Structure 1
Amino acid sequence: MRRTAALGAAGTLVTGTLLAGAIAATPASAGERQHGASAEARGVRTAAARAAAQGIDWQDCPADWGLKTPIQCGYVTVPVDYAKPNGRTIKIAVDRARNTGGAKQRQGSLLYNPGGPGGSGMRFPTRSTGQSALWKKTAAAYDFVGFDPRGVGHSAPISCVDPQEYVKAPKADPVPDSEADKRAQRKLAKEYADGCGERSGGLLPHMTTPNTARDLDVIRAALGEKKLNYLGVSYGTYLGAVYATLFPDHVRRMLVDSVVNPSREKVWYQANLDQDVAFETRWGDWKKWVAKNDATYHIGDTPQKVQAQWEKLRAAAKKKPIGGLVGPAELTGFFQNAPYYDSSWAPVAQVWSAYLAGDEKPLVEKAGPDLKDTAGNIASENGNAVYTAVECTDAKWPANWKKWDRDNTRVHAKAPFMTWSNAWLNLPCATWPAKQHTPVDVKTGKGLPSVLIVQSTRDAATPYAGAVELHKRLKGSRLITERDAGSHGVTGQVNPCINDRVDAYFLHGTTDAKDVTCAPHATPEPAKATAKSASGAQTAS
């Protein structure tokens, strides 16, 4: 089924008199003045004024969105192209849970982006309604607001390939054995890029982080907030950094967690090579943990033995895909959950242990696609399409295959776990059918308050150097470092040294006088591997 972005006009424009008054009440931000009165800057002011006048028509969420009352849903209309605010528009899906502490405690709305690019923030309000212990105090003070960024989910979703084709398995081994293997992967990447242009070409040129940051400012205005309270994780940190640069005096409080390096030299080609090295480091941490708990998992009692078992598993899956669905590519996709998240250490080890004990069902269920899950497959394909579109459109990528080959061959030699897999994922950017831009020069603008940065030193997905770089660029920011830890998404971990400071920042706007280093959160406990527990193991998402 062919799916294209919904690019028709959406929403009703307010009257000229009301609109003029709203624009007058929305002066250009310091970032806009700093970057000149560009057409995009003027377009944001126009769109924000309209949104402020219209507000959001909050309703019970559609039943198939899986968001129950008291969470409410609505839409905010934004331009496809901010240089043409009176042109085509799309609707951005938003949802909220009202603050739990009543009117006296309310400090406004807290907007959230979980990363990606391509991640949906629509589950964020459930942290409030579910009374998550980590977020209970913040939920008392803020409406928790989530949104699907442009191109994602319910916000004019884009697509690059038929979802059922996207999830077909097994895929080719990402580690090439020959030049013929590389040519085959290059062909697939080119076809994927072409598919993005064919299926989503109308929105593709506008799928950038700066445009999503502009959408964020329009959402702020629609919520009736003069200033933004924001929590961004992973790619959400880069979105926050770009917003802080473009709209510094529109920020009230901003916390960024697990930071993408904002340097123009890193976004996005070099950032992915750096990520490969960091994943190898965290893969090593997990192997040590598995070896330490060999009495539970029986995989190997040294990291070297665990690695040997991994290579044996890959070889067996390459020769004969496990369950007919799980080859080396699918194994890498599943096992990379362990370097990503501590919460996946035990579940991934359980599944592997069960396989070695003769039960392959958990591994097939977890690593292989569910071809019958139509909604899930659509969401998976959409997420990858947005990831590719944003990264490829945000920045200029090398077009010369020799550079890709040389760089990834070099990195693979020291970081073989996922280097080639990551390379093929990003290779569509080499033949991208839309204009590639120059990334925003992230830096402090007039009026930007202290931004709180939280980062673990051994994060695989967003290496620690990214937090250091952002800290340098945002004057007055504070950096909380979790040493000797590597889970992606630090604020989701139980660590009072961090949790208490997050509460203090959002509730009172306070930060430490100096940067802080915290001890690591607790190391995951092993869970005994049984066929039943392995089959029910859940990995982080």
Structure 2
Amino acid sequence: MHTRPSLPSPRRTRGARPRATARLTAGLLTAAALLVSACSPGSSTTSAGDTAEAALAALPRSTPSALSSYYTQRLRWRSCGTPGFQCATMTAPLDYGKPGAGDVRLAVARKKATGTGRPIGSLLVNPGGPGGSAVDYLQSYAGVGYPADVRARYDMVAVDPRGVARSEPVECLDGRQMDTYTQTDMTPDDQQERNALVAADKTFDESCGAHSARLLRNVSTVEAARDMDILRAVLGDQKLNYVGASYGTFLGATYAGLFPDRVGRMVLDGAMDPSIDARTLNLDQTSGFETAFQAFAKDCVRRSDCPLGGRGTTPAQVGDHLKAFFREVDAHPIATGDADGRKLGEALATTGVIAAMYDQAEWEQLREALTSAMKEHDGAGLLALSDSYYERDASGRYSNLMMANAAVNCLDLPPAFTGPEEVERALPAFEKASPVFGDYLAWAALSCTYWPVRATGSAHRIEAKGAAPIVVVGTTRDPATPYRWAQSLSHQLSSARLLTYVGDGHTAYGRGSTCIDTAINTYLLNGTPPSIGKRCS
């Protein structure tokens, strides 16, 4: 989802982050800079003018003979080192158009059903990103935190998509280079700063091309969805049962479009809209973060510890105060106590604030971090929020979240902008969508412009005609995947049932709503989708 990741420089969309888990588990992604600069569907090659009528076509029901060896492979399960979990390596063709031209090895993990009754089958989970590790998500949350009744009836399964984490990860910059990249000024004030931003994006993109040339043409969402069908077959399941969050909804919907007759019980939580182009995705997500910030601002001014204003302060004034703070640290970065000497400038400060918009449970941490930064000139708290967003550890190492996020996003959709001149022209629209984050997120959408591999996908609808009922979940004030995306996807999918959570935060399942959890658990266990128009709060 997003993409630097948008969930990275807030440039991408990251995955679900259940309240009960640590910040890094939830699907970072998540889940790059916080936009979805290119998190959309896959294999269509229609022109931009035709995308409104284009739809993802289903693949033939019969498996091509050239793929039979992949579909009949046997996984060799071994201990993962985490009690109760097993791991294996699955093989898929690097290029589905040339199955004999090389393979990609994918990391798979599972936890067997814990109950003594009749099992339903496997339940594949994906936390989002693109770039979030599904294996980590399974071992740290889904395999132990999903409802006991669900874990009793399903083998809980995850596969890191190609290019992600343990599955031949995309590699680009090293830790120190990433530190430099994430501190790049994302709101250039003059030509020199604009040139520096363009140079940073080019360096990142060219580095990915230099270090991961073998993978970059074959890490699309369509290919990852086809990998999931191989996994379904080798696990012995006739249908794919699946729970995907954030970008994981696009991955799941793509699977449904390609293999509608093989859809089992599918939940798409925090849904993306595959029918819109990259610029629209970025603009919509910019509006989503503004909506989330408005909710934060209203809550903040009611509290005595709000550093952005007290009672009587309007949300617009709160936004003005935050923008003034961003300008201050842009001109004069503040100390953080970081062992590597990093200071808190505007880029890291903005990423830290955006990261907290994903979950209202983090608003308290954000208030504390802003108080320290604004009143004590201590940027450690906001730096910690930014680091968790980028998946940077204390030793200065980054996961490959941002690298994989860019690789998938930039292959799935043509770039939002062809160059900085287009960004300049689009700034008024982005700043209208979000007076607080608009300029930052507009420039973040430049990240795919210089990608070394041409996009193979384009925006299109996904209908999945003939699929079993699919539950699409949308949160009304979701910052990263706006509610209208869930509405749009539910209208596209021929068998979709929309489940609405009236509230804040990114995604809804497992985040404290008994109404949402009961509806989804009932569907997973009994196959009964929520009633038409069901809303929870």
For normalisation by structure 1, the TM-score amounts to 0.81
Bigger mean CA offset, 456-465 vs 414-423: 414-423
- Is the counterpart of residue 286 in structure 1 residue 296 in structure 2? yes
1:491-514 residue CA offsets vs partner (Å, 9 max, x unmatched): 021112111100110000002341
Among 492, 495, 498, the alignment partner of 1:479 is 498
Displacement of 1:359 in angstroms is: 7.2
Distance of 2:418 and 2:379 partners within structure 1: 42
Give the aligned partner of residue 517 of structure 1. Answer: 535
Residues 416 and 174 (structure 1), Cα distance of their counterparts in 2 relative to 1, 3 Å cut: farther
Instruction: Name 2:479's counterpart in structure 1.
Output: 460
1:75 pairs, out of 67, 89, 95, with 89
| C-alpha distance in 1 between matches for 2:428 and 2:441 | 12
1:260 Cα deviation from its structure 2 partner? 0.9
Aligned to 1:377: 397
- Cα offsets for 1:406-465 (capped at 9, x unmatched): 123431244143334334444232222212123374333343001001111111101111
- SS of 1:429's partner is coil
2:175 and 2:396 in contact (8 A); partners too: no
Partner of 1:322: 334
The one of 163, 168, 173 aligned to 2:185: 173
Alpha-carbon deviation of 1:402? 2.9
The one of the two structures with greater contact order (alpha-carbon pairs below 8 A, sep at least 6) is 2
- Equivalent positions of 1:192-207 (< 5 A) are 192-207=204-219
CA change 1:326–1:367 in 2 (3 A) is farther
Higher helix fraction: Structure 1 or Structure 2? 1
Matching of residues 32-431 of structure 1 within 5 Å: 35=58, 46-47=66-67, 49-61=68-80, 68-102=82-116, 104-122=117-135, 123-127=137-141, 130=144, 132=145, 135-168=147-180, 171-263=183-275, 266-293=276-303, 295-301=304-310, 302=313, 303-323=315-335, 324-356=342-374, 358=376, 360=378, 362-363=380-381, 366-367=384-385, 373=393, 377-379=397-399, 382-397=400-415, 398-431=417-450
1:361 and 1:177, CA in 2 relative to 1: closer, same or farther beyond 3 A?
Answer: closer
Q: State how far apart, in whole Å, the 1-side matches of 2:536 and 2:444 are.
A: 35
Q: Which amino acid aligns with 2:360?
A: D
Please give the alpha-carbon distance, in whole angstroms, between the structure 2 residues aligned to 1:36 and 1:255: 21
Partner Cα distance (1:375, 1:106) in 2: 43
Counterpart amino acid of residue 300 in structure 1: G
| Distance in 2, Cα, partners of 1:360 & 1:125 | 35
Q: Give 1:57 deviation, angstroms.
A: 1.0
Aligned-pair Cα RMSD in Å: 2.7
Equivalent pair of 1:72/1:97 in contact (CA under 8 Å): yes
Asked if structure 2 preserves the Cα contact closer than 8 Å seen for 1:268 and 1:391, the reply is: no
Contact 1:100 1:139 in 2 (8 A): yes
TM superposition shift of 1:249: 0.8
State the 4+ residue runs in structure 1 displaced beyond 6 angstroms.
none
Residues 486/128 of structure 1: CA separation in 2 closer, same or farther (3 Å cut): closer
Q: Residue 459 of structure 1 aligns to which amino acid in structure 2?
A: D
**Unpaired runs of 5+ in structure 1?**
1-31, 520-541
> 2: CA distance between counterparts of 1:177 and 1:211?
40
Match for residue 523 of structure 2?
A: 505
2: distance between equivalents of 1:115 and 1:128?
Answer: 13
Rounded Cα–Cα distance in structure 2 between residues aligned with 1:416 and 1:33? 36
Query: What is the CA–CA distance in structure 2 between the aligned matches of 1:181 and 1:337, rounded to whole Å?
Result: 24
**TM-aligned CA deviation for residue 383 of structure 1:** 1.0
Alpha-carbon separation, structure 1, partners of 2:191 and 2:377: 36
**Letter of the structure 1 residue corresponding to residue 467 of structure 2:** L
Change (3 A) 1:127 1:368: closer
Deviation of 1:83 (Å): 0.8
Letter in 1 for 2:480: A
Distance 1:442 1:503 in 2: 28
1:167–1:377 Cα contact (<8 Å) kept: no
Alignment match, 1:433: 452
For 1:176 and 1:361, how far apart are their aligned partners in 2?
A: 21
Equivalent of 1:469, from 477, 488, 491?
Answer: 488
Quote the Cα distance in structure 2 between the aligned partners of 1:500 and 1:470: 22
- Aligned partner of 1:14 in structure 2 is none
2:132 counterpart letter in structure 1: G
Separation in 1 of the partners of 2:420 and 2:272? 25
1:86, CA displacement in angstroms?
Answer: 1.6
Aligned-partner SS, 2:104: strand
User: How high is the TM-score relative to the length of structure 2?
Assistant: 0.81
Q: Which residue identity does 1:396 align to in structure 2?
A: P
**1:481-496 counterparts in 2 under 5 A?**
481-483=500-502, 485-496=503-514
> Which residue of the partner structure matches residue 52 of structure 2?
none
